[in-house]
Every structure is written in structure tokens, then in C-alpha cells.
Chain A
Amino acid sequence: DVKVTQSSRYLVKRTGEKVFLECVQDMDHENMFWYRQDPGLGLRLIYFSYDVKMKEKGDIPEGYSVSREKKERFSLILESASTNQTSMYLCASGVGIGRYSNQPQHFGDGTRLSIL
């Protein structure tokens, strides 16, 4: 069974802090993704990575960066947290682009982040 683990379920930080959200997957997937979910807006892609040390911007990358030093781990970084980054953050993983597959992306349970 695929497991995507996000390090924290709930996190409270202050405006201006640097925040790290960690995600680990155990299925040797090439692709990893960070989304945020907000009421009435659905899931929006922040960043994704299709290989170690590779990253691509999603639809809403402003204010975020990512790090992928190892295949199984993908970190989302809020460089200077702001209140409009209060949200549910969801990490996902999936098999690589080069291998077409009908295997879906698998999601972690999310991190509810509050910026005060």
C-alpha cells in the first residue's frame, strides 16, 4: 500500500517565520507534488518535482519554494510566512512521466497550517 506521510497534521506559526513542511513517500515514486486546498477553491498546485533536485512551478508558486534532495522526500518552504498562506497543504506522489501509467497520484493526510 502506498504511503505518503506528512510530518505534521497541524502547525501554528507566526507571520514572517520560515516554515518547512515535510513529505515522505515509501513507493519509490519519481513524481512528487505540493497542493494547497482552500474552501471554494479546490486543490491548487504549488510546486512539483519529477526527479531528485528537479522542480517545476505549479499554478501558485509565489511565496513558496521546494527542496528535493532525496527521491522519497519533498519539502515545501514558506520563505516568510504570511496570513494568506493559512491553508490545508497536501503532498502527493506518483510514478514517473516517462512511464505512462493509470496509477493515480496518492495523497498524504495534509497539514493544516495557521499563520498568526
Chain B
Amino acid sequence: DQQVKQNSPSLSVQEGRISILNCDYTNSMFDYFLWYKKYPAEGPTFLISISSIKDKNEDGRFTVFLNKSAKHLSLHIVPSQPGDSAVYFCAASAGSGGSNYKLTFGKGTLLTVNP
């Protein structure tokens, strides 16, 4: 039973435009959400996170939105750059350990930003 779902395996965007990556979850106990970026042959690198007490968190070109009632979060990248081309994983955790307790990951979305 997949608790974190990324329903789009891939997304292609033009350089300079907005990239929107989506993630849905089913476990209402999740209270912390993260996005990781992964290049081939490298480990995932942390991008941005959000606690369930917030509905938006922004860091430079990256913004994460959380809609708890819909159990949905999204990552917005504006403007998109070719170097953003990577696989993006959505992850969630439950309990007071925050982001450092066990994470449940989605299957990932391959983002391609075309020059």
C-alpha cells in the first residue's frame, strides 16, 4: 500500500518557466514532508521541507505548498533551469522525530528542463 504517491513519472518544462511537481499522501499521521533531488549516480540531496503546521515554505526558487485537507503537496520551481533536471522524490515522516525519523518516499518524478 503506497502511502506517498507521485503520480507523474516524468515532467518536461522549458527553461525559465515554472515546474510544478505533485505529491499525494494517504497516512494522516504524516506531519513532516520533504523534497529531495537526485542526479544519476549520486545520493539524494535535500531540497526543502515543510511541517504540517504550515501551508507554505519558500527557499529561493523553490516553494513547497501543503494542503492538509487534500493530503497533497506540491513543489514549485521558478524559474526552472537546465541544472534542475533530475529525479525529485517526495518524502514524509510521522511522529515527533520530524525529518530525522523514518521517511516514506514516493516513486519519484523525472524533471527535464529544456534549454
Give Cα distance in the complex from A92 to B102, angstroms: 10
A43 located at the interface, meaning its Cβ lies under 8 Å from any Cβ of chain B in the complex: yes
Residues of A22-41 at the interface with B, using a CB-CB cut-off of 8 Å, are: 31, 33, 35, 40-41
A101 touches B100 (CB 8 A): yes
Q: Give the Cβ gap from A66 to chain B, nearest Cβ, in Å.
A: 14
Q: Give the Cβ gap from A90 to chain B, nearest Cβ, in Å.
A: 6
A41 with B43, Cβ < 8 A, contacts A94-B100, A102-B51, A102-B98 known: no
Give Cα distance in the complex from A104 to B93, angstroms: 11
**Which single member of B41, B100, B106 contacts A31 (CB below 8 Å)?**
B100
A96 located at the interface, meaning its Cβ lies under 8 Å from any Cβ of chain B in the complex: yes
B41 touches A104 (CB 8 A): no
Give Cα distance in the complex from A77 to B6, angstroms: 30
Closest to B46 in A: A104
A109 with B41, Cβ < 8 A, contacts A42-B89, A104-B49 known: yes
Give Cα distance in the complex from A94 to B107, angstroms: 22
Q: How many residues of A contact B (CB 8 A)?
A: 33
B41 touches A41 (CB 8 A): no
A41 with B107, Cβ < 8 A, contacts A4-B43, A108-B43 known: yes
A90 touches B43 (CB 8 A): yes
Give Cα distance in the complex from A92 to B91, angstroms: 14
Q: Specify which chain B residues have a CB less than 8 angstroms from the CB of A104 in the assembled complex.
A: 34, 36, 46, 49, 99-100
Q: Specify which chain A residues have a CB less than 8 angstroms from the CB of B89 in the assembled complex.
A: 42-43
Question: Interface 1/0s, chain B 83-115, versus A by CB < 8 A?
Answer: 000000101000111111111111110000000
B100 touches A110 (CB 8 A): no
Instruction: List the interface of chain B (C-beta within 8 A of A).
Output: 6, 9, 34, 36, 41-46, 49, 51, 89, 91, 95-108
7 residue pairs from A and B, CB less than 8 Å apart: A4-B43, A40-B9, A42-B108, A56-B102, A97-B97, A101-B98, A110-B42
Instruction: List the interface of chain A (C-beta within 8 A of B).
Output: 4, 9, 31, 33, 35, 40-45, 48, 56, 58-59, 90, 92, 94-97, 100-110, 112
